[in-house]
Structure 1
Amino acid sequence: MTIKQFEIFTATAPLQKPIADATHTLSEISFVVLRLHTQSGHTGEAYLLSFQYSSQAIIGALKDQGPLLIGEEVCATVKVFMKLNHANEYFGHEGINRWAQAAYNMAMWDAWCKILKQPIWKVLGHSAQKIPAYGSGGWISYTEAELLDEVKGYAARGFGAVKIKVGKPDWREDLERLQLVREAVGPHINIMMDANQGMNVPNALALARAARNIGIQWFEEPIDHTDYEGYSILRHQAGISLAMGEREYSTVPLRELLKRNALDIWQPDILRLGGVEAWRNSAALAAAYNVPVLPHYYKDYDVPLLSTIANGAGVESFDWIDPLIDHPIQFHNGFALPHNRPGWGFTFKDEHLTAIA
């Protein structure tokens, strides 16, 4: 069960042209893939979404931390997390180091569950197997035709909800696009909106109030994620549910928002938080306040983990890695099913990987 070697790869998904939200333009859809090999011949794998950002920095962090795992048992996930915490303290626990720490944690879980010959959700104990899913995208850079084509495509595939980006310089343009989406998908599909922290409180409040008649289910990251008082204002005045969490590296922001009654939906990002235990710890804190969990991006990890908690609300779906892996998550009538294969249940196809020396 001991770790003897680690490997790092990169992979890229097709992107016809750049896409943008309110704060970033994305020129590529790229990933960093980590593999751990044990003395017994088992392999554990994890990946992270990197886009075009700081590829050498995250690879450097993975290379720095990897040697600290050699000789450790793959089941010692908490021990290794604490060991890496100690090693990372000088340069900080948030940011690049935490991403690398999470990747190793998740690869260890993958290898351990493969040794046990069980999917991770069965090892952790499960509460449900069918997870509601929503189709994500709706980029600000889309033309109206591209936007409507995407949301109608999600509806045709059976998704019961779609999320689109907002945060245009004039919020009234966002409102017009939301109205077009509502007309395109009809009254029975839920619509959510995501500003990616790109708005201020007055404009977010104006858009939220104006969008209520359209039937918007929730508003994600309307303002800067550190503006807890701003979230409190919006939560109590906008008349619409608020969601956030994807930028957080600990449960401290969740605690601060819960104290202010300023949050309706918690959206943990498993790579930023630090892996499986950290993700579940945040879900437990949210549960203590009856706040549902609807994680950010990583459906291939989130579907199994949502199956292990009682306050899971759903999963976000992008198709980006599906052509690159052997067993993508399957959706049926708007719901996702966790794999029955050991570990996380999927691996990247070797032909899509480029090894890092």
Structure 2
Amino acid sequence: MTALDRVAWIDLSSVTLPLAAPVSDAKVLTGRQRPMTEVVFLFAEIGTEGGHEGIGFGYSKRAGGPGQFAHAAEIAPVLIGEDPNDIGRLWTKLAWAGASAGRSGLAAQSIAAIDIALWDLKARRAGLPLAKLLDAHRDSVRCYDTSGGFLHAPLEEVLENAEASAAAGIGGVKIKVGHPDHAEDMRRVTAVRERLGDAFPLMVDANQQWDRPAALRMGRALEDFGLTWIEEPLDAYDAEGHAALAAALDTPIATGEMLTSVAEYCELIDRRAADVIQPDAPRIGGITNFLKLATLADHRHLGLAPHFAMQIHLHLAAAYPGEPWVEHFDWLDPLFEERLTIRDGRMDVPARPGLGITLTGRARAWTTQRARIGARP
């Protein structure tokens, strides 16, 4: 096989992004997790003998960052000397290099940053935004904001944040529910709906904290609010429960962000357990696996709303045949020099080649671990 180019070097870095304030959702209020104060990112930068470069990233919340970095550093050397064009084959090679750790979970997340960097490299070399390389169906994607609707925030702050999002041109707002006091959930949803009006897209997210009876009761109580979806009403792996709920309610059910392989999605899709799937490329193994899943989802005519990491998911959503959503989070802004343009409820796909991202000096300063594989000029 004749190589068009060869991987010469790979730089891995673990970057700890501090959050402005501790963040709590329903998992914190039920005592299952502590408030989130930081997000740990795994960045992969790849360069070739021909002088081409690409960057990709994954992340972890509360735990897993050191493990992702260690696993990536262990398997990345198998790419040195390989043709970076052969991304699918290289994904498989990386998976077999770390086969003892499996092909999902932390192992898949470690591969994801490298896989995304390879796709970024390919698009940059072609001089195209990644969305265009993937056969974009649109130049902008509907977007909704999650940053301002967490349960640690007092209701008045949530209302102010929702109004600010709408005023900034963001097309929808999602707020967190799953409070141990169901009446508090209803109070917050009622207030936000009244503030935004009946026509504005509104989503809620229970972060897996309802059991089946509670999810059905709350789902029925929320039917009159005209929600765009109810997200993660049940445990992420309860496909049977999600299927029953989806069949019982008119409000669409969205889930999937916690799944870490295409195989895990198959039961969800086969059982018709979600109206909207929410894959996360850094969690399911990168863009290579995301594209496999997107094909399955399109075949079943499912809605698509990728989770988090809008700098990646904007491109992937733009390439989905059905009209998707992308999730706006301002948390990642300190990491990247560029900003994404939002107007009239949509996020524009940038014209810059690849993902169109450049790390800031602050991101470099927040680096806690580095590994260099191969020889960088």
Question: TM-score, normalized by length of structure 1?
Answer: 0.95
Residue 202 of structure 2 aligns with which residue? Answer: 191
Residue 102 of structure 2 aligns with which residue? Answer: 92
Residue 262 of structure 1 aligns with which residue? Answer: 273
Q: 1:8 aligns with which of 7, 12, 17?
A: 12
Moved over 6 A (4+): none
Query: How far does residue 180 in structure 1 lie from its aligned partner after superposition?
Result: 1.0
Report if the CA contact (8 A) 1:8-1:355 is conserved.
no
Q: Distance in 2 between matches of 1:35 and 1:16?
A: 27
Give, as a single letter, the amino acid of the residue that structure 1 aligns with 2:250. Answer: G
Are 2:49 and 1:49 equivalent residues in the alignment? no
Q: Distance in 2 between matches of 1:195 and 1:136?
A: 13
Report if the CA contact (8 A) 2:41-2:65 is conserved.
no
Identity of aligned residues (%): 31
Residue 357 of structure 2 aligns with which residue? Answer: 346
Report if the CA contact (8 A) 1:283-1:311 is conserved.
no
Residue 187 of structure 2 aligns with which residue? Answer: 176
Report if the CA contact (8 A) 1:148-1:181 is conserved.
yes
5 Å-filtered alignment, 1:57-136, equals 57-136=67-146
Residues 49-87 of structure 1, C-alpha deviations (whole Å, 9 max, x = no match): 223422211110111121111111211111111111212
Q: Distance in 2 between matches of 1:262 and 1:355?
A: 40
Residue 48 of structure 2 aligns with which residue? Answer: 38
Query: How far does residue 329 in structure 1 lie from its aligned partner after superposition?
Result: 1.7
Q: Distance in 1 between matches of 2:313 and 2:82?
A: 26
Query: How far does residue 30 in structure 1 lie from its aligned partner after superposition?
Result: 3.6
Residue 243 of structure 1 aligns with which residue? Answer: 254
Q: Distance in 2 between matches of 1:17 and 1:102?
A: 28
Report if the CA contact (8 A) 2:76-2:94 is conserved.
no
Give, as a single letter, the amino acid of the residue that structure 2 aligns with 1:66. Answer: A
Q: Distance in 1 between matches of 2:40 and 2:268?
A: 32
Cα RMSD (Å) of the superposition?
A: 1.7
- Alignment gaps of 5+ in structure 2: 28-32, 371-377
Residues 239-258 of structure 1, C-alpha deviations (whole Å, 9 max, x = no match): 32100111112233433233
Are 2:365 and 1:356 equivalent residues in the alignment? no
Report if the CA contact (8 A) 2:108-2:261 is conserved.
no
Residue 322 of structure 1 aligns with which residue? Answer: 333
Q: Distance in 2 between matches of 1:15 and 1:275?
A: 24
SS at structure 2 position matched to 1:158:
coil
Q: Distance in 1 between matches of 2:180 and 2:351?
A: 46
Report if the CA contact (8 A) 1:29-1:320 is conserved.
no
Q: Distance in 1 between matches of 2:191 and 2:17?
A: 29
Residue 176 of structure 2 aligns with which residue? Answer: 165
Report if the CA contact (8 A) 1:208-1:239 is conserved.
no
Query: How far does residue 234 in structure 1 lie from its aligned partner after superposition?
Result: 0.8
Query: How far does residue 47 in structure 1 lie from its aligned partner after superposition?
Result: 1.6
Residue 308 of structure 2 aligns with which residue? Answer: 297
Are 2:156 and 1:156 equivalent residues in the alignment? no
SS at structure 2 position matched to 1:6:
strand
Residues 123-156 of structure 1, C-alpha deviations (whole Å, 9 max, x = no match): 2222111211001131111111221121111111
Q: Distance in 2 between matches of 1:105 and 1:255?
A: 22
Residue 375 of structure 2 aligns with which residue? Answer: none
Query: How far does residue 168 in structure 1 lie from its aligned partner after superposition?
Result: 0.8
Query: How far does residue 14 in structure 1 lie from its aligned partner after superposition?
Result: 4.7
Q: Distance in 2 between matches of 1:60 and 1:14?
A: 21
Residues 135-191 of structure 1, C-alpha deviations (whole Å, 9 max, x = no match): 113111111122112111111112221001111112221111101111221222111
Q: 1:311 aligns with which of 301, 322, 346?
A: 322
User: Given the superposition, is the C-alpha separation of residues 16 and 276 from structure 1 closer, same or farther in structure 2, using an over 3 Å criterion?
Assistant: closer
User: Given the superposition, is the C-alpha separation of residues 317 and 155 from structure 1 closer, same or farther in structure 2, using an over 3 Å criterion?
Assistant: same
Residue 231 of structure 1 aligns with which residue? Answer: 242
Q: Distance in 1 between matches of 2:215 and 2:157?
A: 24
User: Given the superposition, is the C-alpha separation of residues 266 and 6 from structure 1 closer, same or farther in structure 2, using an over 3 Å criterion?
Assistant: same
Residue 213 of structure 2 aligns with which residue? Answer: 202
Report if the CA contact (8 A) 2:255-2:276 is conserved.
yes
SS at structure 1 position matched to 2:19:
coil
Give, as a single letter, the amino acid of the residue that structure 2 aligns with 1:21. Answer: D
Q: Distance in 2 between matches of 1:91 and 1:11?
A: 23
Q: Distance in 2 between matches of 1:81 and 1:259?
A: 25
Report if the CA contact (8 A) 1:77-1:109 is conserved.
yes
Residue 18 of structure 1 aligns with which residue? Answer: 22
- Alignment gaps of 5+ in structure 1: none
SS at structure 2 position matched to 1:127:
coil
Are 2:215 and 1:211 equivalent residues in the alignment? no
Matched pairs, number: 357
SS at structure 2 position matched to 1:15:
strand
Report if the CA contact (8 A) 1:3-1:73 is conserved.
yes
User: Given the superposition, is the C-alpha separation of residues 56 and 251 from structure 1 closer, same or farther in structure 2, using an over 3 Å criterion?
Assistant: closer
SS at structure 2 position matched to 1:132:
strand
Query: How far does residue 110 in structure 1 lie from its aligned partner after superposition?
Result: 1.1
Are 2:256 and 1:252 equivalent residues in the alignment? no
